Amino acid sequence: MISDDKIREALINEYEWMCHEGIEPGECTPEEYVKQVATMNREQLLQETCCDEYFTLEEFIESYAP
């Protein structure tokens, strides 16, 4: 089973990658996102990944937290 901490790491890495060209108005900073993700439970973390049968959690982890 993939740990919650590993999912958090992947989500944070994905967010930082998406923000590399800048942040849109109204979006949180990477630092704010870290704080937000830290409070999420497993169900919320899994929802945040947007994984499904086409892009699995395992693939998400491989992409953002190898």
Distance CA 37, CA 22 (A): 20
Per-residue pLDDT, 21: 86
Report whether pLDDT(66) > 90: no
Instruction: Specify whether the CB–CB gap between 65 and 4 falls below 8 A.
Output: no
- Alpha helix (H) residue ranges in the chain: 4-18, 30-38, 42-49, 57-64
Mean pLDDT, rounded, for 53-63: 97
Per-residue tokens: 37? 């993700």
Per-residue pLDDT tens over the stretch 16-53:
999 988 888 899 999 999 999 999 999 999 999 999 99
Report whether pLDDT(65) > 90: yes
Question: Measured in whole angstroms, how far is the alpha carbon of residue 46 from the centre of its chain?
Answer: 9
